[in-house]
Chains A and B, each alone.
Chain A
């Protein structure tokens, strides 16, 4: 079919026989076709039985694009109906190929194959892994959707290094079931899904209702759960209660022993491996109560003994458990949160508070706390508000030691900008005065001085970014002094830097966050030793806490993606940095 000269010819095309106009449409109106397939699929989804027809404007636009102006309205209507019909036909055939390709997703190759089936040349150039979005343009009362075809410089393509060769197909075997029981190995889905654990812990009543999940029959529920009971012998009412297995198999006991030993043992490589296992293994659900007891007991003992290293190891275990995507910790928070809070605010965490870097542990634990608040705080358990209350109470207490004070501030600050704004900023003057008393006052113990320095650094770090957000632009030192007292001038310079930092493109910042995402306290200990307490934050922790809590009445504003570069904090408080640099512990 050659070029069309007039709309009469177009209509003639339609009239002659069905194959030809179809061919014609496909070759000339290919874009419409591929585009319509998508809307045809959408139609499929909507289950709408009535026919959707292409707008006649599309026909006009297409005709213009192949050089036919002035299509008459009638021809457009006729064309669009015909094209719509043919495209639906193709979509239906393409579905066939999808089914036989054993996929759920319709691909462009399915459509190509369907076209081939009709003896039509397939569309070339639509083999894309990614979704090709439509661009939209309007003007002169017309609306257009089109594909953006970027011009690509060939030399660019030639000069870029070749992408990695995709991995070849490989075959891997695992046990899906052993004599009817599905083993909990990483290859199998977790025996109790996270959602299930969640409903069990948050809505215990729901679980009791029979047939919640499937088909409304009790037996159905019992058998559809993938928990390892397999044999299908137990039926009926026994299943009404959520099962809690208290016995661990021999393998699990061995695993537990190995893991806990490795976690608190001396070999760092083994520990990393064990933590990795805790963070990824899907079958830990049943061991969770043991782990949680292990941690809480461990913290209790080691706080008394001031064993900083072990406390850090235990916190890393908490972190690993939290990272495990198959575990839902809600049920065990009553054991974990006290342990974590202890590590944040305890008066003494190490044998030599003047040299050991217990600050890093506090930071790390504070982050864990914030994360668990964010994930598990609900209106019924009120974790976040309870934690905030506790921390604020001891922060407001004059007799609180510097170490605890530091922990309280860290714990609160990690909860997000809103908490900082409502609870810490008003305290700045008071804290500033207290710091001043230590720094400039008469001789005090070295420990107090270090503590004060750390609190100062911490306050500056957290508050600067928040102030930068809420204060209008001109940063006047005097104003700051008037408002925030002793810390004012330093805050001012920090805020200025924070502002410049924010305007800078965050490339460097990104890199720093990327390199420090490891959840290992060892890393953060050594790093924060270098950088003052401007320790790294994992991106997951940075997110705003849910705005449900009592303490953050306003909707949370997204906090800074990362604290303003950690480097200059070191420079700014060279004294603190100098003192902390000697105290690398681990």
Chain B
């Protein structure tokens, strides 16, 4: 097992020379790692955080940790005198050790061994989150670049400033300029408003110009795009320098460069203007805090820009979505289909070969030529099929022959499971693949499992009773089950907080639940007891999901990292770090090689399970993402957010390919039908909506240009794609599930 931190070194173009020592420091840092954890969150820097003082503090710290070599390098780099390290400021950094233990608990893994494995990939702009990444934090604190969460150092970048009273003039000057440029450039340059506004405001606040800052905010906050409203609200509450310490939103802004995509022409225009006006203030901000992704070609239109913007840190850089993704499906193992079942008996002789043939064809075609987009079968190790799994596969195939072909004129029936008397306490729902069990997670920390078939839930007898069983008998598997306590409902107790995520294993033997208490629990559905509590997230875990092949599962939570676990390891196998805010939902790709995570930072990321890299970043949502669904063929991803929109993504090209508007509230569930013809979405607005997924993906024209530039033209065809809207009485739709025969199951709690 090895863990990998994904981290990016920001391209050096925007940084100026402070970045020059990055590489060297990185190489010298592993040794610093063990002690470095102490700097994480609690390094107090009470005085005016001037660059020099910070450096001194760092130096002192290094010295204290007996890292003389690193200290020396840093001292030389910073050009500080030899005697800068006298101990008069020791008390400042000395308060660390008390908390060091707390922040140092990086999953109990030896830090130095971890660090030696850290690789630097340039694909993702990453911010190291919280405790897990305190190691990362120490990197950054060493590098003294602005890209680190040690607040005082981060903020110190704000200290160089011009005349506060001129900010207003600067901003309005730019505004006037942008309003006066040609239409084709205006939309592109307007993207600058928001990041500039935020950074200027923060600079004002940082330099204790409270009233100026307030006036600045009031004057210009109304101009910002409406989808930034939530962030603006947070910003508006920040009025004091003290508040800026420890504010996560702020850190996000500082640590990740806001990414803008601007055509070369527009950029030149802007540059010329700023140089003419000698508007250094704004130029500095652009240089330091923004990342401008310049492309050649036509400037984009307003609608194109709006479709992609909205995320916390701007759009994804183009190169972030360039990596190859093997989105094809894995080859299904060939299973001999026994024909001697009672089902077949009823059929006549011709029925048998007929039945077998299409299956053979489909199987055969798959096995013959390997899909070029599919990952190698052995790319990640998958659990071997057990006999019971094979039986289940056979069941699955049988069922799928009876599957109804859905389409725009053949809509699925919807069966709605309503949770009554839940008193607003239902927080998560899952249904097994064969639709025999349904589980609910509740705010009262319980997990409840219902059987929705006549078969009751039975648990294995107690050890004493098991001793009495005749172990040689044929029906021993039946005998070990306790008939007496069989019931339709089993309640699992164990969590100590609301259960926010729940997932059945594909073989129906296990159930995962993730909770506010920071743990993920694995429950056995044979004994109805808790088997493992996976600890690692120290904050609420918002979602968890089993891999479609079992064994692996993924979780994501408030600590901004997603973790990949295997059921037999108590520590995570991979940590996916990079999101700038809570991870709200996690989904496995059907081929189990990738994991998609949706976040409150309004981006979706796709992670490679094999190496832990972030291979796709999708921006475009205007609110936290609460639902994700992969199409059954693995090519597409659908995502739903609090803004009530469903966005469709082409994974291979890394493009947004559709937008489905219609819901009026948060979308909590998305699901493709078994053959991918229909996308169902369920929302807080008490509706289930069905969308024509075939049409949405068919109309797609991904010519080379769009693919290369990532500029999309979305048609507004939501109304044509909407096939049906079904209101419930007063039941938000929390979960959707297509049975193997394409009957749609929906679930939610009645809210009187």
Contacts and interface: CB of A to CB of B under 8 A. Distances in A.
Contacts of A142: none
B418 A171 contact: yes
Contact of A223 (B540, B724, B746): B724
Interface stretch (A227-235, A305-313, A540-548): A227-235
Contacts of B355: none
Interface in A14-47: 14-19, 44, 47
What does DSSP make chain B's interface, helix, strand, loop or mixed?
Answer: mixed
Interface string A81-114: 1101100110010001101111111010100010
Interface in A174-208: 174-180, 182, 187-189
Contacts of B240: 81-82, 85
B408 interface: yes
Interface stretch (A130-138, A162-170, A486-494, A563-571): A162-170
A103 B500 CA distance: 12
A504 interface: no
Given A99-B642, A102-B734, A117-B558, A173 B239 contact: no
B600 A96 contact: yes
B415 to A, nearest CB: 6
Interface string B562-603: 000000000000000000001010000000000000001000
Contacts of B410: 179-180
A237 interface: no
A81 B413 contact: no
Contacts of B423: 166
A169 B719 contact: no
A102 B668 contact: yes
Contact of B725 (A17, A226, A231): A226
Contacts of A104: 684
B interface, size bucket:
35 or more
A550 to B, nearest CB: 40
Contacts of B720: 219
B245 interface: yes
Contacts of A168: 421
A220 interface: yes
A223 B725 contact: yes
B408 A232 contact: yes
Contact of B239 (A17, A81, A105): A81
Contacts, number: 181
B634 to A, nearest CB: 27
B10 interface: no
A44 B236 CA distance: 12
Contacts of A150: none
B427 interface: yes
B233 interface: yes
A15 B624 CA distance: 34
B466 interface: no
Nearest to A215: B719
A548 B419 CA distance: 45
Contact of A177 (B236, B411, B666): B411
Interface string A113-125: 1000100000000
Given A175-B415, A179-B413, A230-B411, A50 B214 contact: yes
Interface string B483-527: 000000000000001101000000000000000100000000000
A174 B418 contact: yes
Nearest to B440: A169
A253 interface: no
A457 B617 CA distance: 83
> Which of B247, B427, B719 has the most chain A CB atoms inside 10 A of its CB?
B719
B421 A117 contact: no
A101 B427 contact: yes
Contact of A49 (B233, B688, B727, B728): B233
Given A113-B497, A177-B411, A180-B724, A102 B416 contact: no
A172 interface: yes
B416 A85 contact: no
B221 A49 contact: yes
Contacts of A51: 214, 236-237, 239
Contact of A17 (B44, B425, B542, B642): B44
Contacts of A479: none
B253 to A, nearest CB: 15
A226 B685 CA distance: 14
A129 to B, nearest CB: 9
A173 B234 contact: no
B416 A50 contact: no
Contacts of B727: 182, 188-189, 226
B421 A82 contact: no
Interface stretch (B302-310, B324-332, B442-450): B442-450
Contact of A171 (B232, B424, B452, B719): B452
B722 A18 contact: no
B242 A14 contact: yes
B238 interface: yes
A interface, size bucket:
35 or more
A217 interface: yes
Contacts of A92: 233-234
A169 B489 CA distance: 10
Given A101-B427, A176-B415, A85 B728 contact: no
Nearest to B543: A100
A99 B242 contact: no
Interface in B688-720: 688, 690, 719-720
Given A102-B732, A176-B414, A179-B411, A169 B419 contact: yes
A224 interface: yes
A107 B246 CA distance: 26
A231 B726 CA distance: 12
> Which of A85, A99, A113 has the most chain B CB atoms inside 10 A of its CB?
A99
A215 B624 CA distance: 24
A85 B516 contact: no
Nearest to A217: B719
A103 B665 CA distance: 11
B723 interface: yes
Interface in A44-72: 44, 47, 49-51
Contacts of B109: none
Given A102-B732, A117-B540, A50 B218 contact: yes
A2 B242 CA distance: 23
Interface string B222-251: 000000010011101111101101110000
A177 B238 CA distance: 49
A446 B628 CA distance: 82
A100 B418 contact: no
A563 to B, nearest CB: 34
A535 B535 CA distance: 70
Given A92-B234, A171-B452, A232-B408, A101 B443 contact: yes
A232 B242 contact: no
Nearest to A178: B413
Given A85-B237, A171-B452, A232-B724, A166 B421 contact: yes
A173 B540 contact: no
Contacts of A109: 443, 498
B424 A105 contact: yes
Contacts of A173: 415-418, 452
Given A17-B44, A226-B727, A169 B239 contact: no
A219 B221 contact: no
Given A96-B582, A177-B726, A179-B411, A169 B420 contact: yes
10 contacts: A18-B246, A47-B229, A97-B516, A104-B684, A109-B498, A166-B423, A169-B422, A169-B442, A176-B728, A180-B413
CB-CB nearest 4 A-B residue pairs:
A180-B411, A176-B414, A176-B416, A177-B414
Given A51-B237, A180-B724, A223-B725, 8 more contacts: A44-B233, A88-B237, A96-B582, A100-B540, A171-B418, A173-B416, A174-B415, A180-B412
Interface of B: 44, 46, 214, 217-218, 221, 229, 232-234, 236-240, 242-243, 245-247, 408-427, 438, 440, 442-443, 448, 450, 452, 497-498, 500, 516, 539-540, 542, 558, 582, 584, 600, 624, 626, 642, 666, 668, 684, 688, 690, 719-720, 722-729, 732, 734, 746, 749
